Amino acid sequence: MIRNDLDNRLQELGIYSDFYYRKELKPLAQMLGEYERLNCLLTGVHEGNRKMVAVTDRRIIVLFTALGGGDVKIIRRASVKDWRFEKKFLFSSLVIETKGGAVFTFTNTQGKLRDLFERAMNEPIVHAD
């Protein structure tokens, strides 16, 4: 996916103004497949670092970029066992559990994105060819 297409999708989702400046968007655009559809984007603190969480119709991509490097974790949507988004006034949180037993906890997420996240997680999963 090219960056312009990603920016257009963020505008469709109504979240462009929240994320247009994030340095994680460049690697995210490069990671998204040609036919992969981004359904939600948010940030949260995981393992002491602010990370970006992208939910597509196929997978969940967790991105962390820092000076001199970064980290990417891919969670296949089909391998998600459970998820919870707890919306609070200031300190919302997100927990994703996989069938393999891994637990990803994100604190200080954007509570206003709960509905978008829930809608994205309830979308049908598209299996890659």
Per-position pLDDT tens, the chain of length 129 = 898 999 999 999 999 999 999 999 999 999 999 899 999 999 999 999 999 999 999 999 999 987 767 899 999 999 999 999 999 888 999 999 999 999 999 999 999 999 999 999 999 998 754
Burial label, 46 (beta-carbon count in 10 A; 0-12, 13-18, 19+) = buried
- H, E, C per residue of 16-29: HHHHCCCCCHHHHH
Residue 125 backbone class (left: φ over 0; alpha: ψ -120 to 50; beta: rest) = beta
> Cβ of 119: how many Cβ atoms within 10 Å?
13
Q: Are 92 and 111 in contact (CB under 8 A)?
A: yes
User: Rg of the Cα trace of the chain?
Assistant: 14
